[in-house]
Amino acid sequence: WPNPHFEKRLPIQTSAIEALARGYGQTKTRALLDDALRIAGYVHDFLQDGDGAILVSQDADLGGFEGHGRFVDGHIYYRLDSMRRRGLGIPRIDRSVYPHENGLGISALLALAAW
């Protein structure tokens, strides 16, 4: 994909989890399950609040909305390994909680839990 966009939107993440989990259920291809688990881990680590609600998105770039600190474009930020990215900081997470998006998240995680 020549022009990736790095914003992490919950509907896209949950669609991927559900599709990969269902694909694994049909094919038993371990790589599909592993990818679904990695995305679910990201959602758990970054897009879940302390009450268990799933948050709506994470920005593509570092420093774009915060108004302080250094701006780092997502194309540069995501080329770095995890340790270097975390050393710079984490792109802003939209802490909004919407019922529709949480329903998508619940559905995807249930599809994954089936396996």
Average pLDDT estimate for 73-92: 93
Q: Which of 22, 7, 13 is nearest to 102 (CA)?
A: 13
Looking at residue 53, its pLDDT comes to 94
Average pLDDT, the chain: 92
Q: Which of 14, 111, 94, 107 is nearest to 59 (CA)?
A: 94
pTM for the full model? Answer: 0.87
Residue-wise DSSP of 21-67: HHHHHHH--HHHHHHHHHHHHHHHHHSB-TTSPBP-EE-SSBTTTTS
Share of the chain above pLDDT 90, in %: 87
Long-range contacts of 21-26 (CB under 8 A, 24+ apart): 21/108, 21/111, 21/112, 21/114, 21/115, 22/111, 24/115, 25/111, 25/114, 25/115
Confidence category of residue 96, pLDDT binned at 50, 70, 90: very high
Q: 17-59 pLDDT, tens per residue? A: 999 999 999 999 999 999 999 999 999 999 999 999 999 999 9
Average pLDDT estimate for 77-90: 93
Looking at residue 2, its pLDDT comes to 72
Does 110 score more than 90 pLDDT? yes
The one-letter code for the residue type at 41 is: G
Q: 52-81 pLDDT, tens per residue? A: 999 999 999 998 766 667 899 999 999 999
